[in-house]
Amino acid sequence: MVFGIFLLVALSLNVNAAGISSPYWDENPLYVKAGDVKEFNYLMQNMVGDEDLKMQVSLEGTSGIMQFVENKSIYSVPLRSSDVPVKMRVIVPTDAKEGDEWEVGVRFTTISSNTEGKPVVIGSAFSKGFRVIVEKQKIEENVNGNATKVLMNNKLIGFIILVIVLLILVFTTKYFYKKKNK
């Protein structure tokens, strides 16, 4: 019991709270098309403690489609910061097919810089991974059999229909108003 209390007090003297945020996770995968190149940032945080942190980053998985944009593996994360970026790039093969899927991720490991005078130093590691999924290409064939990309999405079509309906209403109202006043 006494040893447990001593261990708790000793460990609480060296509290660091690092964190990682990501735009993609298990329930929010990255949807891509064949040949896409997507860039995004993981954001490292160091909100609690009394010193700056160093984080070592490394790729996880063997898919080979994700890489670091910057050629470095150790980042400094200043105390009270929440936005230290790790820039990533996902390169989807041009021969990827609809439904192809890869697990990608990065491992973030804290590196203890000053362990002198500390009874126990505990590092932490975080894995942030997600799925990359190839979605259906939106391509239609024209009359000649040549493939052309769809240029208008549903919102644009809806907007155009709304404008046409409003113009018809305005002209119809003007027509009946003029006819009534004659």
Look up the domain containing 47 and give its range: 2-139
Residues 48 and 80 both lie in one domain: yes
Residue 169 has pLDDT above 70, yes or no: yes
pLDDT mean over 6-22: 57
Residue 143 has pLDDT above 70, yes or no: no
Residues 57 and 114 both lie in one domain: yes
Please report whether residue 145 resides in a domain: no
pLDDT mean over 74-86: 90
Quick: pLDDT tens for 89-98.
999 999 999 9
Look at the chain and report how many structural domains it folds into: 2
Rounded CA-CA distance 135/110 in Å is: 36
Q: What is the pLDDT of residue 6?
A: 41
Q: What is the pLDDT of residue 9?
A: 41
Q: What is the pLDDT of residue 4?
A: 47
Residues 114 and 63 both lie in one domain: yes
> Which H/E stretch holds residue 154?
helix 154-181
Least-confidence region, from 49-53, 111-115, 126-130: 111-115
Please report whether residue 176 resides in a domain: yes
What CATH number does the domain containing 40 carry?
Answer: 2.60.40.10
Q: What is the pLDDT of residue 123?
A: 67
Rounded CA-CA distance 104/60 in Å is: 6
Rounded CA-CA distance 81/106 in Å is: 20
Contact status, residue 53 vs residue 32, Cβ threshold 8 Å: no
pLDDT mean over 14-26: 77
